[in-house]
Structure 1
Amino acid sequence: MHADKVKVVEVGPRDGLQNEKSLIPTETKVALIDQLTDAGFPNIEVASFVSPKWVPQMADGAQVMAAIRRRPGTIYSALTPNMKGLEGALAAGADEVVIFGAASEAFSQKNINCSIAESMARFEPVAAAAKAKGVRLRASVSCALGCPYQGEVPIDAVVDVVRRMRELGCDEIDIADTIGVGTPDKVKAVMLAAATEFPLAQLSGHFHDTYGHALANVEASLEAGIRIFHASVAGLGGCPYAKGATGNVATEALLQRLASLGMQTGVDLDKVIAAAGLISGAIGKPVLQ
């Protein structure tokens, strides 16, 4: 990847919508994803194959993936926490499956009721099956910059989880500031430390904007050599564990900041703004200015 080229992964259809309380019609999700496809994203996270008991908003993942208009060259990703989820994602034609583990023991126990080591063991068959099918495997390290339960997360803990995910055969690993408490200096230190265990070119930044630090954290990551970032159209989402969390950094804001820094994304900002208007209207939220 060129030094001035950045890959933006659009996560709004999955990460952004999953916490919405009112069920969003399948056709609305499909329309959103189709608009994002037209905007030129190289990678869109579109579904989550988890138990509908826990995440009812994502229960229609297979129907969404069957109905979207796919663009050759675009990677359509799905979250798969276990073998059942993987089987559903593969049947639906996912180009990439995503697993997730926390860098915080406290968060791991609260979120998925097991230790970090146990969560990695659960992912071993998922990772092996995905690789056997020739499907891309991405992993997300949640709470890499801080935890709502234990507070500070040691950098060594992040590096350890990155190493474990590398050993699972991951193609890309996301360093996620799940509750938005990261600051530029800490972000840069974490990214450089993670790069001791995994190629810098395959690490990505996933920043929530809870305290308004997301764009500054993106710039710190760029300085560290990161060239992949996640964003959510219209700033959708939020973390149920952080009071006032405002979701992932808004894709529109990220694209504008990257352009101001001379970075090329290949994504059409005007089309993203139109997609933001579509989904904001559908869920009754004001469009970000």
Structure 2
Amino acid sequence: MAGKESLPRVSLVEEALREGMQIESADIPVDRKLQLLNVLSRSGLTNIVIGSFVSPRWVPQMGRIDELASRFEPADGVSYTALALNAKGRERIAQYAHKLTADDPKVGVSRFHLCDVFVQRNTARTTAQERSSLAATVEEAKAAGAVEAEVCVNAAWGSNWVGPFTQHQRMEALRTQITAWEEAGIPVTRVQLGDPMSWNTPKAVRAQIALIKQTWPQIHRFQLHLHDARGMAMLSAYEAMYQLEESDHLVVDTGLGGMGGCPYCGNGRLTGMIPTEDFVHLLESEGIETGIDLSVLIEAAALAAEMVGHDLWGRVSKAGPRPEGADVYPMDMPFIETFEQAQHFRFGAKAYQGASTPWKQPITSAQRDEYENSARNRGGHHGSY
């Protein structure tokens, strides 16, 4: 994505079919998931996670991931990935190498969790076991031809079981990993910060990104996986964006409609992610061209809500983007009170048919006339329902 001068390149990773679906009903048919994947594939998104190759005993929602992977048709220009937590999962993914983008062997990856409780609940390992395996991880990556590395800190800002983590703890986890890679002759150029339990705050994320930039200037790619149970994830990602430079690359994991949930963190579906459509709207508003069709994302969010059987958490998919040009609202529209009526930006006047209309005379406005004339001069026109 291209942006205005001094802002970084920004990319999105769409997580609804993994993060979102892993906390929804296991009975959602594969056909419906394929339908949603097809819509997402034509939205302009370039990175889509289709699911997880994990044990159906523990994550039954992913029990038919092989069927989904075998049946979906990749779209040109879209990178499709999937999650695996162990060697067995990676073996399953390898069957679909012609469709799914594999991990780049030239980029080694290490990961530390700060919360010993969460990592045991999530991966059946302890933080001590993660740290003790670092040397082997580095050696295996070097043998595989890695020429650069990514270091990850998960549960980075806090834990629902053991409380907050400090910047010192995050930096120590990063420094330990970076030192191991550098001693092996492999430079670290990427950092990923994960927050499954929604402890991120804008101030903490801003300070952390700034300190990483100051301490390790060779790092230019930053990936944020921020959960949104407490409503601060998009604010935190926004703050991170403004700590980076034009030469940097910010990758933000998002979920359509805010879908996302971790069964191991204690917040269920409320864990949430940054709603993809809201973040795209924010980026475009900040002058960052995303190449993503917001109207397609809005329709995808409506489809996803229908699939899961409950409202989602995005705002733009409910109220619409800021109306401009031909999309500004009719001046004589009636009172708009309900969520359903607010969908007039999608369905036109039928969305509010029968609503109260107290205006005794048609509303006229010289300001509106001026706006419409200006829009026509720019090549647009004001339409009506």
* Alpha-carbon separation, structure 1, partners of 2:16 and 2:189: 21
Q: In structure 1, what is the equivalent of residue 226 of structure 2?
A: 207
Identity of aligned residues (%): 28
Cα 1:165–1:282 shift into 2, 3 Å: farther
Q: What is the one-letter code of the residue matched to 1:114?
A: R
Match of 1:107 in 2: 118
Shift of 1:95: 0.5
Is residue 2:91 matched to residue 1:73? no
Q: Secondary structure at the match of 2:122?
A: helix
Cross-structure match for 2:344: none
Residue of 111, 114, 119 corresponding to 2:130: 119
Deviation at 1:206, TM superposition (A): 1.8
Cα distance change, pair 127–9 in 1 and its aligned pair in 2 (3 A) = farther
What does residue 250 of structure 2 align with? 227
Residue 280 of structure 1 pairs with residue 305 of structure 2 = yes
Letter in 1 for 2:163: G
- Pair 137,248 (structure 1): closer, same or farther in 2 beyond 3 Å: farther
Aligned equivalents of 1:85, 1:220: Cα separation in 2: 35
Query: Is residue 167 of structure 2 the alignment partner of residue 143 of structure 1?
Result: no
TM-superposed CA distance for 1:181, in Å, is 2.2
Counterpart residue number, 1:192: 210
Q: Which amino acid aligns with 1:222?
A: M
Alpha-carbon distance between aligned partners in 1 of 2:80 and 2:139, rounded to the nearest angstrom? 17
Q: Is the 8 A contact 2:190 2:219 kept in 1?
A: no
Query: Deviation digits for residues 101-145 of structure 1, max 9, x if unmatched?
Result: 5232332233323222423629956994899499x9977633112
SS where residue 6 of structure 1 aligns? Answer: strand
- Aligned residue pairs, count: 288
Q: CA deviation at 1:250?
A: 0.8
Is it true that 1:95 corresponds to 2:101 in the alignment? yes
Contact 2:134–2:177, Cα closer than 8 Å, also in 1:
no
In the TM superposition, what is the alpha-carbon distance from 1:214 to its structure 2 partner?
Answer: 1.7
Segments of structure 1 that go 5 or more residues without pairing to the other structure are none
2:22 match: secondary structure: coil
Residue type at the aligned position of 1:110: R
Find the residue that maps to 2:242 and give its secondary structure: helix
Correspondence 1:4-153 to 2 at 5 A: 5-93=9-97, 94-97=100-103, 101-119=112-130, 121=133, 128=140, 132=144, 141-153=153-165
Is the CA contact 1:8–1:265 (under 8 Å) kept in the aligned structure 2?
no
The answer (yes or no) to whether the contact 2:260–2:271 under 8 Å persists in 1 is: yes
* Corresponding position: 1:249 with 2:268: no
Q: Tell whether the 8 Å contact from 1:13 to 1:45 is kept in structure 2 after alignment.
A: yes
The offset of 1:38, in angstroms, is: 0.6
**Aligned twin of 1:180:** 198
After TM superposition, the score normalised by the length of structure 2 is 0.65
> Greater CA deviation, 140-149 or 114-123?
114-123
8 Å contact 2:110–2:134 — kept in the other structure? no
**By how many angstroms is 1:187 displaced?**
0.7
State the partner residue of 2:170.
158
Do the aligned partners of residues 31 and 132 (structure 1) sit closer, same or farther apart at CA in structure 2, a change above 3 Å counting?
A: farther
Paired residue type of 1:215 = M
Do the aligned partners of residues 130 and 235 (structure 1) sit closer, same or farther apart at CA in structure 2, a change above 3 Å counting? farther
* CA gap 1:275/1:66 in 2 versus in 1, 3 angstroms: same
User: How many Å apart are 1:44 and its aligned residue?
Assistant: 0.7
Structure 2, gaps ≥5 residues long: 104-108, 319-385
The higher relative CO (CA closer than 8 Å, separation ≥ 6) is in 1
For residues 219 and 243 of structure 1, the distance between their equivalents in structure 2, rounded to whole angstroms, comes to 24
Q: Is the 8 A contact 1:234 1:251 kept in 2?
A: yes
State the TM-score, normalized to the length of structure 1. Answer: 0.85
Whichever of the two has the greater Rg, that structure is 2
The residue type equivalent to 1:270 in the other structure is: S
CA contact (8 A) 1:175 1:191 kept: no
1:165 and 1:63 map into 2 onto residues whose CA distance is 37
Q: Distance in 2 between matches of 1:274 and 1:249?
A: 17
Q: Quick one: structure 1 residues 124 and 69, their matched pair in 2 at CA, closer, same or farther if it must change by over 3 Å?
A: farther
Conserved in 2, the CA contact under 8 Å of 1:159 and 1:197? Answer: no
* Aligned-residue offset at 1:197: 5.2
Note closer, same or farther for the CA distance 1:41–1:64 as it changes in structure 2 (3 Å cut): same
Contact 2:189/2:220 (CA < 8 Å) preserved in 1? Answer: no
Counterpart Cα distance in 1 of 2:225 and 2:29: 27
